């Protein structure tokens, strides 16, 4: 591919000029900061994702710069200028800052990172990159992951720098590496996952030679820390096109190392072709769940959709009548979800929520298509707790049948359940179902001290509350005494 800079180094194309103009129009802080670096005797360039996103018309408030200044010099320049400065990434040559600026009639706050020219590589066993600083922007750009992220705008002179043809690859919507993909992935194996993530975020294709290297080197991902893998996986799952990225992980074998439960869903069809592909079903459920999001991407919901059926391979049985069954796959899947998410270092709260959704995703079907009793509605709401809205979305998304009559019947049945929940919520406090007597009242009425009996009584009263709804105080006292008398026998 022609080198975009060498093809016409002194005359930027109209697209390049327009990109530079757009970058500086929406980021007036760039010129100001560049002048400060220039006065201190250093160079500064906007780089990487900021340039790429400006060319795509999607530049946000995050700005990435690169410089020949060493980190301590960067700190000296930034501290008097920025509203806030942090150096948590200084060991890797990065200084972060926040700067408020007025753009047109609006105030905007910019999140800025300035990184010293650098190169980094892994040895065969290390989980952390070894950082060394460079002296030229060309050397810095060649170490970048993909050509579309290896473009820069030198400031304040506004020179467009593209030594690896990133502009052409951006126009073609393709991901290539500045050097050979083998060298790039040896330097940092996480770049293989970044290829899948950018494909999902940008809806780009990955060049064949890159896919081949990902396939050949998939096992190299094992040296990367679970936290870094998890963060890339999150970005992929939260992207506009997660199916594209997940499919690439599966096809290249990377998923076998980072999320082996996903490729395991590619079960063979049974001889009568009555068993649908669980893997394809899962990706459809994920996309259908995304369509129900109303407040932006929801990681909890998307993870639950992705993992809801991972218990099926372990529970698959071929019945005598030719059917395929997956009894209790939701229970097995919840346990598998907890193990996988824990291994990926997810927070305890997120592990708990996603596992619970996986465990509950079949609960609706367990009640059949008949009229929901008040007791069944209460138990459904109680078991879902604060996850109820997500459970609604997951359950609806899990219907991927092509039988329009069946799909319509399931949708109507779930409409009916939501109506029943709404009706009961008007009558009762469904969001916080608890017994009509608390523990202190139980001890006072029964004349007992704290101990197991109090918990047993509380549990009995909760069951009565779920079965019958709210009780008057006197009725609750009578029910408690009746239960206690039966225990004393």
**What mean pLDDT comes out for the span 344-362?**
96
d(CA 275, CA 261): 19
Between CA 98 and CA 106 the distance in angstroms is: 17
**Cα 368 from Cα 371, distance rounded (Å):** 9
Q: Mean pLDDT, to the nearest integer, of 424-449?
A: 71
- Angstrom distance (rounded) from CA 166 to CA 97: 27
Highest average pLDDT, of 51-60, 242-251, 275-284, comes from 242-251
Predicted confidence (pLDDT) at residue 260 exceeds the cutoff of 90? yes
Q: Tokens representing 117?
A: 């020219």
Q: What's residue 76's pLDDT?
A: 95
Tell me: the pLDDT tens digits for 372-421?
A: 777 788 888 888 888 999 999 999 898 877 767 777 777 777 787 887 77
Nearest CA to 158 out of 20, 9, 50 is that of 20
Least confidently predicted of 254-258, 309-313, 322-326, 380-384: 322-326
**Which range (29-33, 345-349, 392-396) has the least confidence?**
29-33
- At residue 188, does pLDDT exceed 80? yes
Across all residues in the chain, what is the average pLDDT?
Answer: 84
Q: Residue 13 pLDDT > 80, yes or no?
A: no
Q: What local confidence, expressed as pLDDT, does residue 275 receive? A: 47
Residue listed under structure tokens 């704290």 = 450
Structure pTM?
Answer: 0.81
Q: Is pLDDT at 120 greater than 70 in this prediction?
A: no
Above pLDDT 90, what percent of the chain? 47
More confident residue, 2 or 217: 217
For residue 156, pLDDT beyond 80: yes
Rounded CA gap, 459 and 461, in Å? 5
Q: Give the residue carrying structure tokens 């998890």.
A: 230
Contacts of 375 (CB under 8 A, 6+ apart): 466, 467, 468
């Amino acid at each position: 591919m022609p080198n975009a800079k060498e093809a016409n180094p002194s005359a930027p194309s109209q697209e390049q000029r327009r990109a530079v103009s757009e970058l500086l129009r929406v980021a007036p802080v760039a010129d100001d900061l560049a002048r400060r670096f220039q006065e201190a005797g250093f160079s500064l360039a906007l780089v990487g994702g900021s340039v790429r996103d400006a060319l795509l018309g999607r530049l946000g408030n995050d700005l990435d710069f690169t410089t020949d200044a060493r980190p301590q010099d960067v700190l000296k320049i930034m501290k008097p200028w920025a509203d806030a400065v942090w150096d948590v990434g200084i060991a890797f040559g990065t200084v972060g800052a926040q700067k408020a600026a007025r753009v047109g009639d609006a105030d905007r706050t910019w999140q800025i990172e300035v990184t010293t020219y650098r190169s980094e590589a892994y040895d065969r066993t290390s989980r952390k990159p070894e950082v060394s600083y460079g002296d030229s922007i060309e050397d810095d750009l060649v170490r970048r992951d993909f050509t579309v992220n290896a473009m820069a705008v030198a400031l304040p002179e506004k020179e467009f720098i593209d030594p690896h043809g990133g502009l052409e690859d951006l126009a073609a919507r393709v991901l290539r590496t500045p050097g050979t993909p083998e060298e790039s992935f040896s330097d940092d194996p996480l770049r293989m996952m970044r290829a899948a993530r950018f494909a999902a975020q940008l809806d780009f294709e990955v060049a064949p030679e890159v896919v081949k290297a990902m396939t050949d080197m998939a096992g190299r991902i094992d040296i990367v820390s679970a936290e870094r893998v998890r963060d890339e996986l999150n970005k992929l799952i939260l992207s506009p096109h997660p199916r594209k990225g997940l499919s690439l992980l599966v096809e290249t074998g990377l998923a076998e190392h980072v999320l082996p439960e996903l490729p395991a869903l590619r079960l063979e069809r049974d001889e009568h072709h009555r068993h649908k592909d669980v893997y394809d079903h899962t990706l459809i459920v994920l996309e259908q769940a995304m369509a129900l999001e109303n407040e932006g991407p929801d990681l909890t919901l998307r993870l639950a959709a992705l993992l809801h059926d991972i218990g099926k391979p372990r529970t698959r049985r071929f019945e005598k009548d030719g059917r395929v069954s997956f009894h209790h796959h939701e229970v097995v899947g919840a346990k598998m979800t907890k193990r996988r998410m824990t291994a990926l270092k997810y927070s305890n709260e997120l592990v708990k929520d996603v596992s619970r959704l996986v465990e509950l995703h079949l609960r609706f079907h367990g009640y059949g298509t008949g009229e929901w009793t008040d007791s069944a509605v209460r138990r459904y709401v109680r078991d879902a707790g604060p996850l109820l809205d997500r459970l609604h979305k997951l359950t609806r998304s899990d219907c991927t049948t092509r039988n329009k009559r069946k799909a319509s019947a399931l949708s109507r049945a779930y409409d009916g359940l939501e109506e029943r929940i709404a009706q009961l919520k008007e009558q009762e406090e469904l969001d916080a179902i608890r017994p009509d007597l608390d523990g202190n009242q139980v001890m006072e009425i029964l004349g007992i001290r704290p101990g197991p009996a109090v918990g047993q009584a509380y549990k009995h009263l909760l069951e009565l509350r779920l079965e019958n709804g709210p009780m008057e105080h006197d009725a609750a006292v009578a029910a408690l005494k009746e239960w206690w008398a039966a225990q004393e026998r």
